[in-house]
């Protein structure tokens, strides 16, 4: 089951700041959020976990 994470949870899980998350989004390097309503966004937890695993895989490959 996929859980949606609000920005504070994404920041905590990734150890990234809000501004860095949005910089990565602009460059297409971070999962896009799901629009829940007007100004409310959330990220599927499985996509955030996949992004984290990809960073670990990059480290292992280096």
Residue 6 is predicted with a pLDDT of: 98
Please state the domain extents for the chain.
Answer: 4-61
Residue 44 is predicted with a pLDDT of: 98
pLDDT at 62 over 90: no
pLDDT at 60 over 90: yes
Residue 42 is predicted with a pLDDT of: 98
Angle between helices 7-14 and 45-61 (to 10 degrees): 20
13: helix, strand or coil: helix
**Count of Cβ atoms closer than 10 Å to residue 43 Cβ:** 23
Q: Where are the beta strands (DSSP E) in 1-62?
A: 4-5, 34-37, 40-44
pLDDT (tens digit per residue) in 12-52: 999 999 999 999 999 999 999 999 999 999 999 999 999 99
């Amino acid at each position: 089951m996929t859980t949606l994470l609000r920005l504070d949870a994404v920041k905590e899980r990734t150890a990234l700041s809000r501004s860095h998350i949005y910089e990565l989004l602009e460059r297409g390097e971070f999962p896009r959020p799901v629009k829940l309503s007007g100004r409310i966004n959330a990220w599927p937890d499985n996509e955030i976990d996949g992004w984290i695993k990809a960073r670990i895989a990059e480290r292992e490959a280096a």
